[in-house]
Structure 1
Amino acid sequence: MTPREAMDGALKDAITQHLRPKGFTGSLPHLRRRSDAQVCLISFQFFSAGGRFAVEVAECGPDGLTTSWGKHKAPHKVTAQDIPAPRPRLGSADFPQGDHWFVFGPRNYEAGAAKLRPHEDYEALAAGVLGFVESQAEPFWEQQLSART
């Protein structure tokens, strides 16, 4: 097992245990929660050189999104990465501004990149993401909905 596979496993467990009961569907890297009023979106973006990932959140109306070039993205297909803005990253100290990457190990070209950490480390990082969904994403989605209505 690679560190990326271990991180994916911990995130999938967290999604199954905590986000599915809150209505989220989809699979890594894109999740969505649909309601009559909006679609709440979460997208995970893994760094190409390994060892870290960002979590972007966004939202759109309940009918999905029509891009600037006229293509319609259905509500069960739209992802956070389809939304041009705002699309903040969870974990930023200046949320909804700023940038943040969750680090689960060295980059592929750094020493120790293939070394697995204890499973609890990956679980703790996934739990941290869930904490930011509660403390940052939920208020963001509520604020975006209020701004549209």
Structure 2
Amino acid sequence: MARPRHASFDKKKTVAENRRARYDYAIDEVFEAGIALTGTEVKALRFGEGSIAESYAEVKGEEVWLINSNIPEFSHGNRFNHEPKRPRKLLLNHREIAKMFGGVSRQGMTLVPLSVYFNSRGRAKVELALAKGKKLHDKRESEKTRDWKREAARIMRDRG
């Protein structure tokens, strides 16, 4: 039996984060996926380079691919250096892939990468969310609640 996973994954070093995703999408379910990388990609990520700002994930058959993520070429790489924006395969269980496929095909959801990080064992992981796009009025509502929480915290702090 597999060991249970925690609600928040064990992040040791965050390399890239998609902060805009939580604003643009209503996050439904979050998954942790491994990434199939080449040697120079891992080295570039360890130096803190990489971006997932405009990337997304796609289910093709029984595989999930990370599309449009940018890991720049490694500076000390040689002729075997990698292509910066190539599609990268994500490593997930069949049950998780089936759940993602169902959400994307039937419910009109999107697979959005939230962050790329190294876990405590030194493996590169992607935090992937099954999300639904927010409309403009939803974004305004979330801004109102965020501003109200900030204001309430300020009032409570001032009153002591």
Q: TM-score range by the shorter chain?
A: under 0.3
Q: Higher strand share goes to which structure?
A: 2
TM-score, scaled relative to structure 2 = 0.24
Q: Comparing both chains, which one has the higher relative contact order based on Cα–Cα distances under 8 Å and sequence gaps of 6 or more? A: 2
TM-score, scaled relative to structure 1 = 0.25
Q: Higher helix share goes to which structure?
A: 1
Bigger CA radius of gyration: 2
